[in-house]
Amino acid sequence: MLRRVLFSAGLVSLAASAYFALSGQYPEALWLLLNGVMLSAGTFFERWRYGKTSHTPPINWQRTGERFLDPHSGQLTDVYYNPATGERRYVSRR
């Protein structure tokens, strides 16, 4: 729900930026353009970056001991850590 609100706010900001640019108010248009791009792109790429969930633990990764209940699937999820890259991976338990 929050993701949709933020993405929509970014799109409204982009539309307002176009309106102000056509009206000749360039500083306001630039400010709205930057905010709209950050909100829209950040919301879009957030799901891609942090949405990795699998059912098998990765090889040579360490369990961090963190567990949480995934709000989307309702399953208990373990967190694994790759010491070489610092990447974290979420593995749901069946």
- pTM across the whole model: 0.52
Task: Please determine, for residue 17, whether its predicted confidence score (pLDDT) is greater than 70.
Answer: yes
Query: For the stretch 45-76, what's the b/e string if a residue is b when 16 or more beta carbons lie within 10 angstroms of its beta carbon?
Result: eeeeeeeeeeeeeeeebeeeeeeeeeeeeeee
Q: What is the pLDDT, as a whole number, of residue 86?
A: 87
Q: What is the pLDDT, as a whole number, of residue 38?
A: 92
Task: Please determine, for residue 89, whether its predicted confidence score (pLDDT) is greater than 70.
Answer: yes
Between 84 and 19, the higher pLDDT residue? 19
Contact 29, 45 (CB under 8 A): no
Look at residue 67 and give its three-state secondary structure.
Answer: strand
Record the tokens describing residue 71, joined without a space: 């709000």
Model confidence pLDDT, tens digit, residues 18-77: 999 999 999 999 999 999 999 988 887 776 665 556 677 778 899 999 999 888 778 898
Record the tokens describing residue 18, joined without a space: 């176009």
